[in-house]
């Protein structure tokens, strides 16, 4: 059989992201996949030279809108480490609450897009209907639905009243019921299982050796989660990494579904255990030195390197996003599958090219 090289992306009917792959195909079977990165490069890291330390919060929030809160948490924690700032305990719990709300809306967005990849339009709408409720919570508590801009160096800029906390719990109870109602279709439907089980298999050893992150890693049975490092207020909450053993597209989708429910529980715990007090400490941000910081994005571990020289501008900001880490594992998943399964397998890592090509 003759081999053919087919371009996959950067525009594709199934993909919400402009991921570009070159597929070597023989008789409808993928033999090799070669990535072509850089299509939407924006040069955001370079902006640290012309935006001061505080202005860079707004820049990093726009690396990716869906997980903007967690980019800001990672950046602010890095600057706080350089300044030796002690963030108020209440602010740490508030960061957890908004961070987990972002995780919920990211996973629900992805579950809807994954359903759309099979042609399940009604399931797509149902997932996004639940996501709308989560975004309504963020709008009511922060004033915006996606880029909430609540993090500042030294804490957060907004607080939650007891009435708001009670309302959030009421809304999450409804969302939890709606998510569980989708479980039978998302995890047991014949078509879903047929399109995902055994597709794009990544063993636990492969996932670890290739540097996979987030649900892509945990879907292969590796219980690794940056939240176990107890940043923010996670040290005061009870949770365990969600894992699935099979390492296929189904396992990765099951991890995200279960993590959505876990995030609801974490928000409940954070509200119940959140102490009173201040939500921020004021400081004149003139950091000096080098620091690395990690947090757990919806897609996996986010890594920041920050170098400062004591002026209002930073010397260097370097960001490693989870999708960048998950591209080598993706290239290991694709060989051997049918061409028709490529979009589903690619979507199973939840690619964010906006994050990857900053």
Numbered residues of the known binding site: 45, 64, 67, 319, 352, 355
Six-digit token string for 321: 């996003």
For residue 8, CA distances in Å to 35, 84, 87 come to: 10, 47, 46
Strand partners, 39: none
- Rounded CA-CA distance 77/66 in Å is 19
Nearest to 323 by CA among 24, 60, 92, 37: 37
Q: Residues annotated as binding site for Ni(2+)?
A: 64, 67, 352
Nearest to 219 by CA among 231, 234, 208: 208
Q: Residues annotated as binding site for Mg(2+)?
A: 45, 319
For residue 305, CA distances in Å to 231, 263, 319 come to: 16, 27, 6
By residue count, the chain amounts to 358
Q: Answer whether 88's CB lies under 8 Å from 278's CB.
A: yes
Angle between helices 89-118 and 121-142 (to 10 degrees): 160
Nearest to 354 by CA among 329, 323, 317: 323
What is the residue whose two structure tokens read 């479980």?
Answer: 183
Question: Which residues, 6+ apart, have CB-to-CB distance to 230 below 8 Å?
Answer: none
Q: Is the dihedral of CA 221, 196, 183, 301 positive or negative?
A: positive
Six-digit token string for 197: 């089980």
- Rounded CA-CA distance 290/294 in Å is 14
Q: Residues annotated as binding site for Fe cation?
A: 67, 355
Nearest to 351 by CA among 104, 106, 28, 127: 106
Instruction: Find the largest Cα–Cα distance for the chain.
Output: 70
């Amino acid at each position: 059989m003759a081999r053919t090289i087919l371009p996959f992306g950067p525009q594709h009917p199934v993909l919400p992201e402009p991921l570009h792959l070159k597929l070597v195909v023989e008789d409808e079977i993928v033999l090799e996949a070669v990535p072509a990165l850089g299509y939407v490069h924006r040069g955001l890291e370079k902006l640290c030279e012309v935006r001061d330390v505080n202005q860079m919060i707004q820049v990093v929030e726009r690396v990716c809108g869906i997980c903007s809160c967690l980019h800001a948490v990672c950046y602010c924690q890095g600057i706080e480490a350089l300044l030796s700032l002690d963030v108020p305990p209440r602010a740490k719990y508030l960061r957890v609450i908004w961070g987990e709300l972002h995780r919920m809306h990211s996973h629900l967005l992805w579950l809807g897009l994954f359903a759309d990849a099979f042609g399940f339009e009604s399931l797509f709408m149902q997932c996004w209907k639940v996501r709308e409720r989560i975004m309504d919570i963020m709008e009511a508590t922060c004033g915006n639905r996606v880029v909430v801009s609540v993090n500042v160096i030294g804490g957060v800029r907004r607080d939650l009243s007891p009435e708001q906390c009670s309302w959030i719990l009421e809304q999450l109870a409804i969302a939890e019921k709606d998510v569980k109602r989708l479980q039978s279709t998302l995890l047991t439907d014949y078509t879903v299982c047929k399109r995902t089980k055994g597709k794009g298999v990544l063993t636990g050893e492969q996932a670890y050796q290739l540097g996979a992150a987030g649900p892509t890693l945990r879907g292969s049975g590796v219980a690794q989660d940056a939240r176990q490092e107890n940043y923010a207020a996670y040290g005061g909450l009870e949770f365990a990494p969600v894992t699935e053993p099979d390492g296929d597209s189904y396992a990765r989708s099951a991890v995200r579904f279960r993590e959505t429910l876990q995030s609801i529980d974490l928000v409940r715990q954070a509200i119940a255990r959140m102490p009173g007090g201040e939500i921020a400490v004021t400081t004149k941000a003139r950091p000096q030195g080098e620091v690395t910081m990690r947090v757990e994005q919806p897609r996996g571990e986010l890594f920041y390197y920050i170098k400062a020289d004591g002026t209002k501008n930073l010397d260097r900001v370097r960001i490693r996003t989870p999708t960048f880490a998950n591209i080598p594992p993706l290239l290991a998943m694709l060989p051997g599958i049918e061409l028709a399964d490529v979009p589903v397998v690619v979507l199973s890592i939840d690619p964010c090219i906006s994050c990857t090509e900053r």
